[in-house]
Amino acid sequence: MPTSAAGRAGLAMLIQREPSPLRRGEKVPKADPSWQVRRMSASLRRAGLSVGLLDEDSTQGSPPPTANGQPTTTQPVIIAGMIVTARLTFSAAHRLHNPNRDAAWNRAMYDKCDNPNGHGHNYALEVSVKGTIDPETGMVIDLKRLKDIMRERVVDHVDHTNLNEDVGFLRGTIPTAENLARSFWRELAPAIPQGELYEIVLEETERNSVRYRGEDET
Ligand SMILES: [Zn+2]
């Protein structure tokens, strides 16, 4: 269920009477508020599901009559969450080393990643936000705004740095991809203005990535 104010506002037009799905080739102005829902309805029908248009006045009493004068049957209402993703890249150096363990343990655990002078990666950070489509903008969140938040809260702090030494919010953290993703989540979650932070994917190399959905956050 949507929890944001924008999500609840979007809900105001979702329920009760099922719109006719958008037909192939049918022209409806995108400014028409039913356009998104009718388009979604067509997709959901193909998946065997349905979506409704909420008419606030019709949520009480008898269902409104259809075009042929018969009352509509109650349709299942599906509030479809939409997930949007922004991706940015940055470069940084790190050394994987646990100062609480001896040199032999660190070498055995991290191998070359424990080299004293560190090494670098070209990271890719993907941030996904989940929410409902704002009927006024047609968007869950403005992706330009989301990228600005990613830069302000994370990328500008870590790009071209030594992750072991230079980043305040990583101090005391072994900068594995797992720990980076969790720290990034904590920096980003309070700044997401619409929808909710859904997932972070951090690629350390083109072969290695971690995915975090905030399960451990309170
Ligand atoms: Zn590394």
Same domain as 92, residue 74: no
Structural domains of the chain, count: 2
**Cα–ligand 1 centroid distance for 99 (angstroms):** 17
CA 75 to chain centre: 28
Amino acid at 112: K
Same domain as 49, residue 108: no
Q: Is the pLDDT of residue 110 over 80?
A: yes
| 2-34 per-position pLDDT tens digit | 444 444 433 333 333 445 555 666 665 655 556
Amino acid at 123: Y
Q: Is the pLDDT of residue 74 over 90?
A: no
Same domain as 198, residue 111: yes
Among candidate residues 56, 160, 178, 217, the one labeled active-site is: 160
3-class state of residue 102 by DSSP? coil
Last residue of a domain, one of 25, 48, 79: 79
Q: Which residue has the higher pLDDT, 5 or 118?
A: 118
| 126-154 per-position pLDDT tens digit | 999 999 888 888 889 999 999 999 999 99
**Cα–ligand 1 centroid distance for 78 (angstroms):** 43
Same domain as 51, residue 8: yes
| 162-200 per-position pLDDT tens digit | 999 999 999 999 999 999 999 999 999 999 976 689 999
* Residue 121 is a catalytic residue: no
Q: Domain with 157 in it: what CATH number?
A: 3.30.479.10
Same domain as 40, residue 100: no
* Residue 204 is a catalytic residue: yes
Whether the pTM exceeds 0.85: the reply is no
In a domain, 112, yes or no: yes
Same domain as 125, residue 144: yes
**Which domain does 143 fall in, by range?**
82-212
CA distance 161 to 120: 10
Same domain as 202, residue 98: yes
* Residue 113 is a catalytic residue: yes
Are 8 and 2 in contact by the 8 Å Cβ rule? The answer is: yes
